[in-house]
Amino acid sequence: MSGFEGRVYPLGPIATIVNSLAREGIPASQALAGARLTARALRSQDTRVSVNQILRVLRNATELSRDPYLAHHTGQRFHFSILGMYGFAMLTSPSFRQGIHFAVRYQQLVLPLVSVSFAEDHGTGIWNFVPIAHPSIDPALARFLIEQHLSATITLHRDGMGSSFVPLKIHLRFGRPRDATKYEQMFGCPVLFDQEEHQLIFDAAWLDREAILGNEIAHYEAVKLCDDLLEQLQLRAGIAGKIRNLLLTNRLAPMSCAEVARQLRMTGRTLRRRLREERTSFRKVAYELRMRMAVEYLRDTDLTIQEIGRSLGFREDASFRHAFRRWTKTAPQRFRGHLTRAIRRK
């Protein structure tokens, strides 16, 4: 719950919905009603939105649109070009299989409403889709999200693999509707209802085809940028994000859990409960933040080992070196040397 208000996601999902509604003559002001967003904000690349804002716009769309297949039609507009660096990294993946594994690993950058996973089984590739647990996602909106993501997945596969890509079949947990034949027309394959999972299944032979736009150097650079984007997103999201911001601001004077709780105007017990809801703990947040900062300083700055240790709140050099060994199983100087050699090889 605590992470649903964080404005950390790109505009893609909302902009696509607003543009789709505009084609029906529905103004942006109506599409954005209740989302605390303006049409002007949608024109800024710096605008970030929250899960709750995206859901509000989706709810508006389902109430305003006269298109019974809006989910499918908006999904068809999800191309690599609107997915920013995430889309570029997928497009330049040296192989389709690598591209798919990248998509799953970095999905948090663009898929805040549906969790996706991928597996290969007996010559098939299988995408699984699960809407996130959120009180605003009722069965009707869950159906919208699944149908939209199925269409988007097919569109993205065609962007990368060619326009002839067609799934073998689609599984849906929903009951069979009256217009079931329309689903087969939209997705271009058999659609089975009342299944155990929401799945898109295709011939795994597609994964071994040559990636026409694959480029190892471009992909490597794109993934580095995605690493930075993912780290920034994780640093800002949820109650853990608020804690990280406080720890970053006070990194020269490390704060205890009790001190952080007071800053956030809650009890220590409430803070620990909300962190458990995000499947983490104060100790883990502080531990991971220090480790990330140490790696970033070693990678991106010319600061000495002593200066890095001081900037992270370590009073003694030996304490920092010991902690870094515990985090990475190697000494900080050796770690920096490995990074330098790896960059030169690239």
Q: What is the pLDDT of residue 184?
A: 94
For the chain, the straight-line distance linking the first and the last C-alpha, in angstroms and rounded, comes to: 42
Residues 199, 128: contact at Cβ < 8 Å?
yes
Strand 191-192 relative to strand 114-121, pairing? unpaired
Of the listed ranges 127-131, 167-171, 298-302, 312-316, the least confidently predicted one is 298-302
Q: What is the pLDDT of residue 343?
A: 46
pLDDT category of residue 3 using cuts at 50, 70 and 90: low
Q: What is the pLDDT of residues 76-96, one digit of tens each?
A: 999 888 888 898 999 899 889
Q: What is the mean pLDDT of residues 180-199?
A: 95
Q: What is the mean pLDDT of residues 243-272?
A: 84
Residue 294: name the closest of 278, 269, 314, 277 by CA.
314
Q: What is the pLDDT of residue 6?
A: 72
Q: What is the pLDDT of residue 335?
A: 80
Q: What is the pLDDT of residues 289-327, one digit of tens each?
A: 888 788 878 877 888 998 888 888 888 889 899 988 888
* Alpha carbon distance 115, 335 (integer Å): 34
Q: What is the pLDDT of residue 126?
A: 97
* C-alpha distances in Å from residue 43, one per residue of 18, 37, 49, 82, 180: 12, 11, 13, 13, 38
pLDDT category of residue 151 using cuts at 50, 70 and 90: very high
* C-alpha distances in Å from residue 237, one per residue of 3, 230, 284: 6, 10, 15
Q: What is the pLDDT of residue 316?
A: 87
Q: What is the mean pLDDT of residues 255-275?
A: 89
Residue 166: name the closest of 220, 130, 123, 202 by CA.
202
Secondary structure of residue 117 in the 3-state scheme? strand
Q: What is the pLDDT of residue 236?
A: 66
Which of 108-112, 116-120, 231-235 is predicted most confidently? 116-120
pLDDT category of residue 238 using cuts at 50, 70 and 90: confident
pLDDT category of residue 239 using cuts at 50, 70 and 90: confident
Q: What is the CATH number of domain 237-345?
A: 1.10.10.60
Q: What is the mean pLDDT of residues 29-38?
A: 94
Q: What is the pLDDT of residue 233?
A: 74
Half-sphere exposure (Cβ direction) of 131: Cα atoms closer than 13 Å: 20
Position 2 pLDDT exceeds 50: no
Q: What is the pLDDT of residue 297?
A: 82
Beta bridge partners of 203: 124
Q: What is the mean pLDDT of residues 126-132?
A: 94
User: How far out from the chain centre does Cα 126 lie?
Assistant: 19
> Where does the chain hold its CATH 1.10.10.60 domain(s)?
237-345
